[in-house]
């Protein structure tokens, strides 16, 4: 080993080792880009100097109100400036930010506040009744409730609680931030969707979030000063860490409180938005927008999409409109996206349908991850033949610390030194992964596995279909058969028999839906279809 046997004097010290944290990005931006626009919400325009000062006020005001390092501060906020500021101000006080889904019921929110032991809660006026009901149902001491009005969006303060601006006025714009002494310190607490039983509390560390911000810049091909539209809710994987990332490149976060096609097109046309993330339902919304909601723009808009694999027809339509869509994949437990469909320029000459089919793949690991692969039950990588299915597993710095107060679930998730996603996928010969289905969504019909994703993709090719989901329905003869739930485009018409015949022309008979129900699909706040509800409905059909 030569000289490496003796490293006397080559010790880690304050000069050469600083714990990684996304807080550093905003501290730097305030010095390097003080006058550059950082945060936009209607008439609200904050530069980096102002943004940093407000986050400092929030941190010091929370500390003065009794929030200590390691305490949890929760938020029930849409994508508004207070939510962006909370992502820096709360951890700048040494506290852990717990962003709560605004669409949850009071009982679930009460559980989250109790389980996470929240000491304070920042709540948008629109969701105040739900939050108040949740606090009343809590066990233990209630958190300090701070009301965050949004008069611009029609939600003025009620006066029932201290308001956000009053809290900031109590703080010091020049207060020193409490930076982590160890990058393994907890930064955020996010709760899973909880479709079965109580949601699990996923704990993030500073190191993982910092590396997410660096890897995402590379994968999204970002240069300095991007204009980013915040569509992914910041209560979902902290908005895939994008708000923590933007100060690193001096970018502007354009808040999108209410996700509509008009709001998206307006932000692109009026604010120059060039980047956003969103679920496939957001892409559908853009593609099927009314003419009155559409706006012209003269630049390419880069889009990260994740969730259920988007239909190839949707991806083709997005490209025709001027959007370059990159499929990414991840989970709450991985801070958001950790794989990308890395494009090969050789594919540019392929027919549109073939390009869209490739773009629907989940792809390869992003730069901040160490390994992501597909394995069989013995943890052996499956053949890269595009057919053999296995489970996606991953390891790297952007994997959660574990589940709060649930060591058994944490151990199960980390068996074999990898995080187990429970997503079923194949590996293509070029190394790309492609999800076949969630393990629980595979339909076993007459002993044959049917991928709900494959059937949904076929249905989405029909010109009348706006959105669809396929689940298993019990069947006396076959055990299970595919059952389709369909939303039609406004003004469009189609019958169940027509759609069944349409799919039968494209897929094997056993993969064809045996029942079609036309109705609005239940969705989460991030646009994911709630298949557990549809499975229940299918059993009643």
Q: Residues of the chain with pLDDT > 90: what percent?
A: 77
DSSP 529: B
pLDDT at 308: 66
Residues of the chain with CATH 3.40.50.12780: 24-36+47-207, 259-439
Distance CA 395, CA 399 (A): 7
- Domain 442-540: assigned CATH number: 3.30.300.30
pLDDT at 355: 84
pLDDT at 89: 98
3-state secondary structure of 291: coil
Segment 60-109, tens digit of pLDDT: 999 999 999 999 999 999 999 999 999 999 999 999 999 999 988 898 89
Residues of the chain with CATH 3.30.300.30: 442-540
Homologous superfamily (CATH) of 24-36+47-207 is: ANL, N-terminal domain (3.40.50.12780)
In 220-300, where do the E strands start and end?
A: 227-230, 252-255, 275-278
Angle between helix 23-32 and 206-219 (nearest 10): 60
Which residues, 6 or more positions from 464, have their beta carbon under 8 angstroms from its beta carbon?
Answer: 488, 489, 492, 493, 494
Which residue positions in the chain have pLDDT lower than 70? 1, 3, 194-197, 308-309, 437-439, 446-448, 525-526
Strands 227-230 and 275-278: parallel
Q: 427 has which bridge partners? A: 433
Segment 258-302, tens digit of pLDDT: 999 999 999 999 999 999 999 888 898 899 898 899 999 999 999
List the end-to-end C-alpha distance of the chain, in Å, as a whole number.
Answer: 71
Q: Does domain 259-439 have CATH number 3.40.50.12780?
A: yes
Planar angle of CA 197, 474, 541, nearest 5 degrees: 85
Task: Confirm if 243 and 77 have CB atoms less than 8 A apart.
Answer: no
Two tokens, residue 93: 């006080």
pLDDT at 1: 54
Task: Confirm if 128 and 102 have CB atoms less than 8 A apart.
Answer: no
3-state secondary structure of 199: coil
In 192-335, where do the E strands start and end?
A: 201-205, 227-230, 252-255, 275-278, 301-305, 323-331
């Amino acid at each position: 080993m030569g000289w490496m046997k003796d490293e006397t004097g080559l010790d880690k010290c304050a000069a050469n080792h600083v714990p990684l944290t996304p807080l550093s990005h905003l501290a730097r931006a305030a010095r390097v880009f003080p006058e550059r626009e950082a945060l936009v919400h209607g008439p609200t325009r904050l530069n980096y100097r102002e943004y940093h000062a407000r986050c400092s006020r929030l941190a010091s005001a929370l500390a003065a109100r009794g929030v200590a390092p390691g305490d949890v501060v929760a938020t029930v906020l849409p994508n508004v400036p207070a939510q962006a500021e909370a992502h820096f101000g709360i951890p700048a006080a040494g506290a852990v930010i717990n962003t709560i889904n605004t669409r949850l019921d009071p009982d679930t929110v009460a559980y989250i506040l109790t389980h996470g032991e929240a000491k304070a809660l920042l709540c948008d006026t629109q969701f105040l009744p739900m939050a108040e009901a949740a606090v009343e149902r809590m066990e233990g001491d209630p958190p300090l409730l701070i009301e965050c009005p949004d008069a611009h969006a029609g939600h003025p303060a009620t006066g029932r609680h201290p308001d956000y601006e009053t809290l900031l006025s109590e703080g010091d714009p020049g207060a020193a931030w409490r930076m982590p002494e160890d990058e393994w310190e907890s930064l955020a607490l996010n709760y899973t969707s909880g479709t079965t039983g109580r949601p699990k509390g996923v704990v993030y560390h500073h190191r993982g979030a910092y590396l997410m911000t660096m890897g995402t810049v590379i994968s999204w091909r970002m240069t300095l000063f991007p204009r980013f539209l915040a569509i992914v809710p910041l209560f979902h994987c902290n908005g895939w860490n994008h708000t923590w990332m933007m100060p690193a490149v001096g970018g502007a976060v354009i808040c999108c409180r209410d996700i509509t096609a008009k709001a998206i097109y307006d932000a692109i046309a009026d604010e120059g938005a060039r980047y956003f993330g969103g679920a496939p339902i957001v892409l559908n919304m853009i593609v099927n927008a009314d003419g009155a909601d559409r706006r012209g723009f003269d630049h390419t808009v880069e889009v990260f999409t994740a969730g259920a694999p988007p239909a190839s027809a949707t991806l083709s339509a997005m490209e025709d409109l001027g959007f370059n869509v990159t499929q990414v994949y991840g989970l709450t437990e991985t801070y958001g996206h950790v794989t990308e469909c890395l494009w090969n320029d050789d594919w540019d000459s392929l027919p549109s349908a073939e390009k869209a089919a490739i773009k629907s793949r989940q792809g390869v690991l992003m730069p901040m991850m160490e390994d992501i692969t597909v394995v069989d039950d013995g943890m052996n990588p499956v053949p890269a033949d595009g057919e053999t299915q296995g489970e996606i597993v991953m390891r790297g710095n952007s994997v959660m610390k574990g589940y709060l107060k649930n060591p058994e679930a944490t151990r199960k998730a980390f068996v074999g030194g990898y995080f187990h996603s429970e997503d079923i996928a194949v590996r293509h010969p070029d190394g790309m992964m492609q999800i076949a289905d969630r393990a629980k969504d595979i339909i076993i019909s007459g002993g044959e596995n049917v991928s709900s994703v494959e059937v949904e993709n076929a249905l989405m090719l029909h010109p009348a279909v706006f959105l669809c989901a396929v689940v298993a329905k019990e069947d006396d003869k076959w055990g299970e058969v595919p059952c389709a739930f369909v939303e039609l485009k406004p003004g469009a018409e189609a019958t169940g028999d027509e759609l069944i015949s349409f799919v039968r022309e494209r897929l094997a008979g056993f993969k064809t839906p045996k029942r079609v129900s036309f109705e609005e699909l239940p969705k989460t706040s991030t646009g994911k279809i709630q298949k557990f509800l549809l499975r229940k409905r299918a059993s009643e059909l």
